[in-house]
Structure 1
Amino acid sequence: MPRPLDDSLVIVLAGGAGERLYPLTKDRAKPAVYFGGPYRIIDFVLSNCINSGLRHIFLATQYKSLSLNRHIRMGWNIVSEELGEFVEILPPQKRVSEHWYQGTADAVYQNLYSIMREGDQGRRAAVTLAALEVPVADASRFGIVVVDEEDRVRGFEEKPQVPSPIPGTPDLALASMGIYIFDMDVLVRSLESDALQPTTHDFGRDIIPSLIHDERVFAYRFYDENKKAAKYWRDIGTLDAYFEANMDLCQVNPEFNLYDPEWPLRTYQPQAPPAKFVFAEAGKRCGQALDSVISPGCIISGSTVTGSVLCPNVRVHSFCHIEQSIVMPGVRVGRHARIRRAIIDRDVLIPRGAIIGYDRDEDRRRHTVTDAGVVVVETDDEPLVRSLDETALRYEADADGRGVEQGR
């Protein structure tokens, strides 16, 4: 584990409304949205900080931060207050130190910030910003960092139609990751100056561009030297991107490894029993999960779950089929429900016989449906419910060992 970087202060901007993740952000801040089962989005940037030896951390929150504040209070009281370490919600106090990190809770990735800082010190940089190599064809979705042959930043393009490529590599561009290391004096001067200007006061649009010509600003490439490729980084700012990033975790060998003992992921773990799979009745029903991530407290009772992520304390009743879906905590799925390519929000009650993800027109009438066809089900939604045919009723009654009329 890296040694603590005692003179470094981290500020994580965790107050975004996350409008592109709506309705998942209807009642919570984007960093508080669940990801990968038991985790919240904020857990990944905080784990990166702790694993990098950074233990002086502020979180600047604003939008509907109640659940985020509660999560931080219950799950991130792991540092030593006696040593002056803290993970705190702003504004508890003000600290002045030589270096200042700014990170965002908009993406899922692993980053050893201490290596980034070493490069920052070696170059005598006033600002170092993390950047990711992306294909030029996809670069219009990002803020693009324009660099010279030494990776010194010479310009910044906000979602350009014609992105500037990396020198010597015409098919790649550098996308800003929203992670910065500042010299504290430079930061304070730039913030004071920007506060007097009629700007949007945004780091990417205003602060960084204003420093490029007068200060030494460098890019740190988020790159895996062993694989000779960009490291895993997923911007989960849209529902489709969020969905696909979760589905990645269900692969046999996912690119992002939740099980790496060298890079532990921390979160608040509720007191929940182990996941349970019940009924193994040949020819009747079987509780099973295949190629899926199942969290503590879940019970899959005589149903099949494939390629899905279930958050804590989900209950799936018998004769259901859930495929390529994300199910948030506390969801109850009634018998005979069929769910495909869906995100089920927290504490939703899915009625018996519900059909989600099979009828595009009905889904659009009843729920939020993304451009890629992912169905988002909220608490007040009314899913399409089918009438069970005689075969299904007899199958259910036989499995329960009772009459057909009782099975209705």
Structure 2
Amino acid sequence: MSKETLILILAIDRGVGSAPLTEHRTKAAVPFGGKYRVIDFTLANCLHSGLRQVLVLTQYKSHSLHKHLRDGWSIFNPELREFITPVPPQMRESQDWYAGPFDAIRQNRYLIERSQAERILILDGGVVYRMDYAELVQAHADSGAAVTVAVRAVRGAGSGTQAGVELGEREHILGFRPPVGDPGGSGSRFGVRAEMDLEDDEQPEQFETMGVFVFDRRFLIEEMTRYDQRRQAAGGTLPDTDLALDVVAPLTSLHQVQAYRFGQARGRVTPDRYWCDLASVDAYYQANMGLLRAEPPLDLYQAEWTIHTHQGQYPPARTVPGTRSGNEGIFVNSMLAAGTVISGGGVNHSILFPRVRVNDGAIVEASILFTGVVVGEGAHLRNCIVEKGVEIPRGMRIGFDLKADRERFCVSPQGVVVVTKIDQQASG
């Protein structure tokens, strides 16, 4: 099945709602869960599903992503026709960048045409979930559909960012509904876990897309030709913002468009039904904090479906007494990546990426610290996301006075402070 399926991972999205986190990287390259990048989850799904012909379509600030793919995912054997290859805009027909998801696919038509694959699996590289794509592809082949769309069950507003789906008999898709948006403007319902939406039994079950599509290769090529004809007739422009709404929806009345329900029993991965699109700072923060629960909605420790990534050869994380106070470094209910040192400080309910240092008397509470962050002596952080390499000056308090924090940092609607740099004059 691997050689019969070509995978296109869309990693062109900046992620507007999570803009402070994507100032220097694309959404797919955002750090997640203490040691991973967001795209690692999609790539791990490909790896465990036995599908190893992967093109990653990149565009926005892609250097960090390209470096991660090189360092962490150069694991396939090209002699066996296995590959993970980044594909920035090639500009073969014009000088245009990718205008949207389908335009990115259309601009790489030549790669699809020269592939010997029978099916094209299109994935969003900016979401976090586990899924056995082999079962999805098999269900697509068994159904005889031209297009299969993975859908997840939700109640209420759902994620607020994905198109709704109207299902008919035998999982046939009758149509799509536009996303409802984030009702509260907070990102609190951005698909952090499907079961959370399903708890309210008084609301009828609904379905929405997940950014996962399977096309028959020949049909996709024909559709690209029809799309180009429509685009030329429209003067060279057509809307291209959503694969479900702009590309697949017009096909529902003419061709068989099938749904594949996410989280069902078939497949080799535990059906935890977790799916998160990290579409806002609050959604990102909540998804990471959810990993610290006694029973997290996403189990990173599932032995048969490990998440592969790149991690430097750092020494083990450790706690040591403070150099001045002699107090022991402590951490409670937290994740500490390799190379992290807590020297006389305290860490509670937080996630620390590699090579973080928390110095004597410093306290970190309910926060996410990216690689290389240094927390100075006596500093106190609460409800913060701190960008890679930032040094927090000694004695600084962040997360206690949101009015003052807004003058220096980005503060989310739910009060999460994103620290991307420190104004040394203001801090001194």
Q: Same fold (TM over 0.5)?
A: yes
Q: Distance in 1 between matches of 2:423 and 2:286?
A: 23
Structure 1 equivalent of residue 154 of structure 2: 134
Alignment RMSD (CA, Å): 2.5
Q: Is the 8 A contact 2:322 2:361 kept in 1?
A: no
Q: What is the letter of the counterpart of residue 113 of structure 1? A: Y
1:67 corresponding residue in structure 2? 64
Single out whichever of 44-53 and 252-261 deviates more from structure 2: 252-261
Q: Residue 179 of structure 1: which of 212, 219, 228 is its match?
A: 212
Which secondary structure state, in structure 1, belongs to the residue aligned with residue 177 of structure 2?
Answer: strand
- Greater relative contact order: 1 or 2 (C-alpha under 8 angstroms, separation 6 or more)? 2
1:80 to 58, 64, 77: 77
Match of 2:107 in 1: none
Q: Deviations over 1:153-195 (max 9, x none)?
A: 110111148xxxx9x9962211100100110111111122223
Counterpart of 2:177? Answer: 157
Amino acid at match of 2:119: H
- Structure-1 residue corresponding to 2:6: 9
Match of 2:234 in 1: none
Name 1:22's counterpart in structure 2.
19
CA distance in 2, matches of 1:137, 1:229: 22
Structure with the larger strand share: 1
* CA distance 1:228–1:37, shift in 2 (3 Å): closer
Residue 376 of structure 1 corresponds to: 418
Structure 1: segments with no counterpart, 5+ residues:
387-408
Answer with 68-77 or 193-202: which moved more.
193-202
Contact 1:222/1:230 (<8 A) preserved: no
Aligned residue number for residue 114 of structure 1: 134
Which is further off, 350-359 or 376-385?
376-385
**Amino acid aligned to 1:54:** L
Task: Please name the residue that 2:98 is paired with.
Answer: none
2:70 paired with 1:31: no
Deviation at 1:123, TM superposition (A): 1.0
CA contact (8 A) 2:28 2:127 kept: no
Name the count of aligned residue pairs: 377
Structure 2 equivalent of residue 389 of structure 1: none
Aligned-partner SS, 1:262: helix
Aligned to 1:52: 49
Between 128-137 and 98-107, report the one with greater CA deviation. 128-137
Q: Tell me the secondary structure at the aligned position of residue 155 of structure 1.
A: strand
* 2:400 matches 1:367: no
What corresponds to 1:204 in structure 2? 244
Give the whole-Å Cα distance in 1 for the aligned partners of 2:288 and 2:225. 40
CA deviation string 1:48-81 (max 9, x = no partner): 1111001000000000001110110111010111
Determine what percentage of the aligned residue pairs are the same residue: 36
Q: State the Cα distance separating 1:139 from its structure 2 match.
A: 5.7
Aligned-pair distance for 1:29? Answer: 0.9
| Deviation at residue 384 of structure 1 after TM alignment | 7.5
Are the equivalent residues in 1 in contact too, given 2:72–2:309 (CA < 8 A)? yes
Contact conserved, 1:355 with 1:384, CA < 8 A, in 2?
no
One-letter amino acid of the counterpart of residue 106, structure 1: G
Residues 140 and 107 of structure 1: CA distance in aligned 2, closer, same or farther (over 3 Å): closer
**Shift of residue 358 of structure 1?**
0.6
Q: AA paired with 1:233?
A: W
Task: Label 1:373 to 1:170 Cα distance change in 2 as closer, same or farther (>3 A).
Answer: closer
Q: 2 CA distance for matches of 1:252 and 1:230?
A: 15
How far apart are the structure 1 equivalents of 2:274 and 2:375?
33
Structure-1 separation of matches of 2:160 and 2:372 = 38
Alpha-carbon contact 1:274-1:298 (below 8 Å) kept: yes
- Cα gap change, 1:177/1:82 in structure 2, threshold over 3 Å: closer, same or farther? same
Larger Rg: 1
1:149 Cα shift? 3.1
Relative to structure 1, is the Cα distance of residues 317 and 160 closer, same or farther in structure 2, using a 3 angstrom cutoff?
A: closer
1:224 Cα offset (Å)? 4.0
- Relative to structure 1, is the Cα distance of residues 342 and 144 closer, same or farther in structure 2, using a 3 angstrom cutoff? same
Structure 1 residues 280 and 355, CA gap change in structure 2 (3 angstroms): closer
- The residue matched to 2:145 in structure 1 has which SS? coil
Q: CA deviation at 1:138?
A: 3.5
Give the counterpart of 1:190 among 223, 237, 254. 223
Contact 1:332 1:348 in 2 (8 A): yes
CA distance in structure 2 between the partners assigned to 1:228 and 1:28 by the alignment? 31
Unmatched 5+ stretches in structure 2: 91-109, 182-197, 232-236
**TM-score of the two chains, using structure 2 as the length reference:** 0.83
- Cα deviation, 1:313-346, whole Å, max 9, x if unaligned, reads 1111010111111100011110001101110001
Task: Tell me which amino acid in the other structure corresponds to 1:185.
Answer: R
How many angstroms apart in 2 are the aligned matches of 1:350 and 1:112?
42
Contact 1:286 1:302 in 2 (8 A): yes
Question: Which residue of the partner structure matches residue 402 of structure 1?
Answer: none
Equivalent in the alignment of 2:379: 337
Which residue in 1 is equivalent to 2:164?
144
After superposition, where does 1:246-261 map in structure 2 within 5 Å? 246-261=288-303
2:356 corresponds to? 314
Q: Structure 1: how far apart are the matches of 2:203 and 2:258? A: 20
Q: Distance in 2 between matches of 1:350 and 1:258?
A: 29
CA deviations over 1:77-100 (Å, ceiling 9, x no partner): 101111010000116982421000
Aligned to 2:123: 103
Deviations 1:126-163 (A, max 9, x none): 111111111134364431011113211110111148xx
Deviates more, 1:227-236 or 1:10-19: 227-236
Q: Match of 1:53, as an amino acid?
A: G
Instruction: Write the letter of the residue equivalent to 1:173.
Output: Q
* Closer/same/farther in 2, CA of residues 150 and 384 from structure 1, 3 Å limit: farther
Check conservation: 1:252, 1:291, Cα contact below 8 A: no
- Cα separation, 2, equivalents of 1:294 and 1:376: 20
Contact 1:322 1:339 in 2 (8 A): yes
Alignment match of 1:214 (pick from 242, 248, 254): 254
